[in-house]
Amino acid sequence: MDKFKQFLKNIAPITDKEFADSISVFTELHLKKGDFFVKQDKICRNIAFIVSGTIRIYYINQKSEETTYSFCQENCLTTSFKSFIFQTPSQLTLQALENTVLLTIDYDKLNVLYKDYPIWQNIGRIITQNEFLNMEKYASVLNNETAKEKYLRLLKEQPNILQKASIEDIASYLGITRRTLSRIRQEISK
Amino acid sequence: MDKFKQFLKNIAPITDKEFADSISVFTELHLKKGDFFVKQDKICRNIAFIVSGTIRIYYINQKSEETTYSFCQENCLTTSFKSFIFQTPSQLTLQALENTVLLTIDYDKLNVLYKDYPIWQNIGRIITQNEFLNMEKYASVLNNETAKEKYLRLLKEQPNILQKASIEDIASYLGITRRTLSRIRQEISK
DNA sequence: ATCATTTGAGGACATTTGTCCTTGTTAACC
DNA sequence: GGTTAACAAGGACAAATGTCCTCAAATGAT
């Protein structure tokens, strides 16, 4: 709970009272390794704060290959954004890579918060902005960096992902093949 | 003006009265080919609706190369998003690829609209969402498509960009070199 | 514990892409 | 109108990455 409060306070000046009122509509959800938080083609009803654990988001691309969209870890929010905001079927799948604890809120309850607490409007807007900036950064990396640079960046930014995700998952996140990632790892280990 | 009204109505149900009140705080700006709308390291004070023309957004990457971030055309919004929302120096440069007509509004005036007209809060939120979804799409393309696929996609989605942007600009947008783009174009022309 | 399945490393070769360069063409400027 | 600079095409070779594959180790299930 404290983690979530701190997370929100870093976004907007939510009062303790507002937080206490709000937190009561969140639900704690425990996922086991391999469990799904959102499945493809289902409408994503919830957005979640990750208290602990790791969620892998992926989709099936035009070539029918699984592509990792992102790895979400502790102290981050996770959802199938497009599906959640439009309440349409999700193209993304969200799956726990390890046992994971979430604080979730569903679409209707979030809209009640938006209505009752103006601060939540700010929080919602800022979160969307942050998601945009993250995606912009990711696109810039994909556009400008070599396979090796992208891998080293991931190691630096999410060092523990290596212990949690498979080589396959990481390769598709970086937009390269397993073979290329294997070569890079070999080269680095020297 | 009508173009802009239609654009806004497609986003949120703004009334004719609200539109008439709002439009008065926008400024029409005419850029000649080559003129800058936003320069790197300056704070981006304005957001603009493109009435006609084309804006190229680019940045200098870690290897000191110009990288095209996007091509914005008629009936779209354009700004250096991060710089505008945080009012911090822009990493992006926005330049007209041809004579361009804009409707612009500055940061302070937009915040007045947010305050006075709740509908503008919605518009602002939805625009941010759309920007996110565009960026998500772009990242997905960069991650999954080959050079040729990316080029064909650009041809399909922004066919007239070829007449307006240089091969260099297009190559950096697609994350490939001039040489590769030249080969693709040769192959296609057969 | 045993067997089957999944996963990661890496060989061999093909393909794609990049680098460096030259050339011809177009466009811009005095 | 002639000169210069910018731009696009493409040759030759190098480097990076992908494809297909095998093998060994790790993991999971019975």
Residue A166 is predicted with a pLDDT of 97
Residue with more model confidence, B166 or A190: B166
User: Which residues of chain B have a CB within 8 Å of the CB of A139?
Assistant: 135, 138-139, 142
Residue B9 is predicted with a pLDDT of 97
Read off the tokens for B109. Answer: 């005036």
Of A157, A165, A160, the C-alpha closest to A95 is A165
Q: Which of A77, A129, A174 to mutate to test the interface with B (most CBs of B within 10 A)?
A: A129
C chain positions with any atom within 7 Å of a protein CB: 7-12, 16-21
Distance between CA atoms of A131 and A127, rounded to whole angstroms? 6
**Count of Cβ atoms closer than 10 Å to residue B63 Cβ:** 8
CB contact under 8 A, B144 and A82: no
Q: Above 90 in pLDDT, residue B112?
A: yes
Q: Residue range A57-73: average pLDDT?
A: 95
Q: Above 90 in pLDDT, residue A46?
A: yes
Residue with more model confidence, B1 or B155: B155
Amino acid in position B23: I
CB contact under 8 A, B138 and A140: no
Q: Above 90 in pLDDT, residue B23?
A: yes
Q: Residue range A167-185: average pLDDT?
A: 97
Of B56, B51, B81, the C-alpha closest to B69 is B56
Distance A97 CA to C18 C1' (A): 37
Q: Does B167 touch chain A (CB under 8 A)?
A: no
Q: Above 90 in pLDDT, residue A1?
A: no
Q: Residue range B100-115: average pLDDT?
A: 97
- Confidence label for A5 from pLDDT (cuts 50, 70 and 90): very high
Residue B5 is predicted with a pLDDT of 97
Amino acid in position B123: I
Residue with more model confidence, B108 or A189: B108
Tens-digit pLDDT profile for residues B131-188 = 999 999 999 999 999 999 999 999 999 999 999 999 999 999 999 999 999 999 999 9
Residue B53 is predicted with a pLDDT of 96
Local structure of B27: helix, strand or coil: strand
Strands (E), chain B: 27-31, 36-38, 46-52, 54-60, 66-73, 77-78, 93-96, 100-106
Tens-digit pLDDT profile for residues B45-81 = 999 999 999 999 999 999 999 999 999 999 999 999 9
Percent of chain B whose predicted confidence (pLDDT) is above 90: 96
Residue with tokens 């783009």: B181
Phi/psi at B14 (5° precision): -80, 135
Residue B162 is predicted with a pLDDT of 94
Q: Residue range B94-110: average pLDDT?
A: 97
Considering only residues 65 to 124 of chain B, which have any Cβ-Cβ distance to chain A shorter than 8 Å? Answer: 65, 67, 69, 81-82, 85, 121, 124
Phi/psi at B57 (5° precision): -105, 130
Considering only residues 115 to 144 of chain A, which have any Cβ-Cβ distance to chain B shorter than 8 Å? Answer: 121, 124-125, 128-129, 131-133, 135-136, 138-140, 142-144
Domains of chain B and any CATH numbers: 1-120 (2.60.120.10), 136-190 (no CATH)
Is B92 within 8 Å of B109 (Cβ atoms)?
A: no
- Confidence label for B29 from pLDDT (cuts 50, 70 and 90): very high
Is A25 within 8 Å of A112 (Cβ atoms)?
A: yes
Distance A92 CA to C2 C1' (A): 39
Read off the tokens for A124. Answer: 């919602």
Q: Which nucleotide lies nearest residue A169, CA to C1'? A: C7
Residue A17 is predicted with a pLDDT of 96
Distance between CA atoms of B149 and B170, rounded to whole angstroms? 14
Q: Above 90 in pLDDT, residue B190?
A: no
The beta-carbon neighbor of B67 closest among A129, A143, A175 is: A143
Q: How many residues comprise chain A?
A: 190
Q: Residue range B8-18: average pLDDT?
A: 96
> Which residues sit opposite A105 in a β-bridge?
A47
How far off is chain A from B154, nearest CA to CA, in Å?
A: 15
